[in-house]
Structure 1
């Protein structure tokens, strides 16, 4: 195991970070959106494997509004985001309280913001589904909602839950389905076109705080509940394929590494705030380190780096994958 105290690379933004996301798209995989107090900051990062050294630069700030005291809880990039097109096309959604704000920019002069309203309590997670045709959101108001992203943005489908919605994830190989995770431990696989649940699994523990869908294998789903990371093989969904106690006093978030055939995961939990990286197939930790505060967790799409936001800094660690 690699136990570390400091990250391999750091970006210091001199303001407290609320949350952030790294773009997963092929033509913008080094793009990062960081939510600060009154603005969302767009950055581009270059890692040593690409440039020989760690580099980053600031692209643009997008204002959230001077009078808004709500925190951004989630950010999701649209599948059509590209920094290789002319002009650039960057589209992302930020969940701000009960509202969803869709930002569109060419990272130069053209910027627009649309606000989607309908949730009656805090939005916990968002995801673009059906190749960007819909935006999906889950909330403390016990609903999962799907919004049209056409010229007129409407709440076109509402899927009622039995508890707060904590995570919603689409899959690159199964774009009509979404994974919807509830706080009481139920995870649904929902078909957007058919407007119905295809499959549900139930966690042996709760509260469920986070869930993710393995990009390298759409049959595997993991959740973080009560400090345990619970993994299901959807071919045999009735009993979890694996249960690991990773955090003694509960956890915040779990994320699959995007290209890992060994099903590598990262999670943050208590005691304190501890980042751990491990394989779903092994009890051996690949990385463990403490954080000052929690404001997000994300993998780099192409390179074996896990990142976390802590206080005013974005931190990057290289993970030694097998």
Structure 2
């Protein structure tokens, strides 16, 4: 593994404060531009991104702020609703989680109506994911699902702290939950029963490949791991990633063989590795001031990491 060929970001966007979490919307906005949201210490900013790879008249990246929401606390997680679109009747809707253990549902018509609903205070929120009309939270050894009216619909008992969660892209009642002790379970929310499980060592982050759902990836310790869920409950591939402990694993939405991992921040910088399943070494190594969050563009082989007063974007040719 090569450690001395780090690349600076392909593009950057200046922000007013530290960015703790950043997410591209995985859904079409109805326009050529993609929706992107990022959260800082007391705010959430929603905007659109358009890159020169999408429009030859643009130099680098064009980022336009649509709406800034005041947020009482630092934003620890956020997720987009598929209701967010910019054509027809423009609407942005997303959920956030923070250290006060509350869910905030942010909605705006980008004109006169801007709403922040605050609800749910129950245990310690670690991570959540939003899909269609429901939101999901990890309490220390419990995974709970609510609808967006605040009604709890499902409670899943875990055997260790939850670390990651993903909804199936098409079958809305299928859910992946990854636990710290290394078990990744797939649940049918109709029966509220586990239908499949995968195993590895102490797990830090996991993700379901939404362009090919037989693939699951994770980081555990310093390594990345890949499963083919049709073949075995144990990883088909396992390779070292970061010298220090790995932090996040995210599949590309544009290429089922492309994924990214980040390392735990060092004193000055943190590293982003972009991997391709056809290559033994990372196809790109990015380096930036201590970063937070990791998200892939919906159609481009491009990912973003937040940082100190900036968003950093890396484009890969794969």
Task: Provide the TM-score with structure 2 as the length reference.
Answer: 0.91
Task: Report the alpha carbon displacement of residue 78 of structure 1 after superposing the two structures with TM.
Answer: 0.7
C-alpha distance in 2 between matches for 1:271 and 1:148 = 35
Segment drifting more, 248-257 vs 26-35: 26-35
Look up the match of 1:135.
135
What pairs with 1:33-44 in structure 2 (closer than 5 Å)?
Answer: 33-44=37-48
Look up the match of 1:83.
86
1:247 aligns with 2:250: no
What pairs with 1:160-309 in structure 2 (closer than 5 Å)?
Answer: 160-203=157-200, 205-206=201-202, 208-261=203-256, 263-270=257-264, 272=266, 273-309=270-306
Instruction: Report the CA distance shift for 1:112/1:14 in structure 2 as closer, same or farther (over 3 A).
Output: closer
Secondary structure of 1:174 counterpart: coil
Q: Retained in 1: the 8 A contact 2:259–2:275?
A: yes
Secondary structure of 2:123 counterpart: coil
C-alpha distance in 1 between matches for 2:208 and 2:48 = 26
Unaligned 5+ runs, structure 1: none
C-alpha distance in 1 between matches for 2:137 and 2:278 = 31
CA-based RMSD: 1.8
Secondary structure of 1:75 counterpart: strand
Task: Report the alpha carbon displacement of residue 118 of structure 1 after superposing the two structures with TM.
Answer: 4.0
Look up the match of 2:155.
158
C-alpha distance in 1 between matches for 2:235 and 2:194 = 19
Pick aligned residue for 2:113 from 101, 110, 113: 110
C-alpha distance in 2 between matches for 1:271 and 1:296 = 11
Instruction: Report the CA distance shift for 1:99/1:237 in structure 2 as closer, same or farther (over 3 A).
Output: farther
C-alpha distance in 2 between matches for 1:275 and 1:47 = 20
1:18 aligns with 2:20: yes
Secondary structure of 2:204 counterpart: strand
Pick aligned residue for 1:313 from 300, 310, 316: 310
Secondary structure of 1:259 counterpart: coil
Secondary structure of 2:127 counterpart: strand
C-alpha distance in 2 between matches for 1:84 and 1:302 = 18
Task: Provide the TM-score with structure 1 as the length reference.
Answer: 0.90
Instruction: Report the CA distance shift for 1:284/1:258 in structure 2 as closer, same or farther (over 3 A).
Output: same
C-alpha distance in 2 between matches for 1:32 and 1:19 = 11
Secondary structure of 1:124 counterpart: coil
C-alpha distance in 1 between matches for 2:226 and 2:167 = 17
Look up the match of 1:145.
144
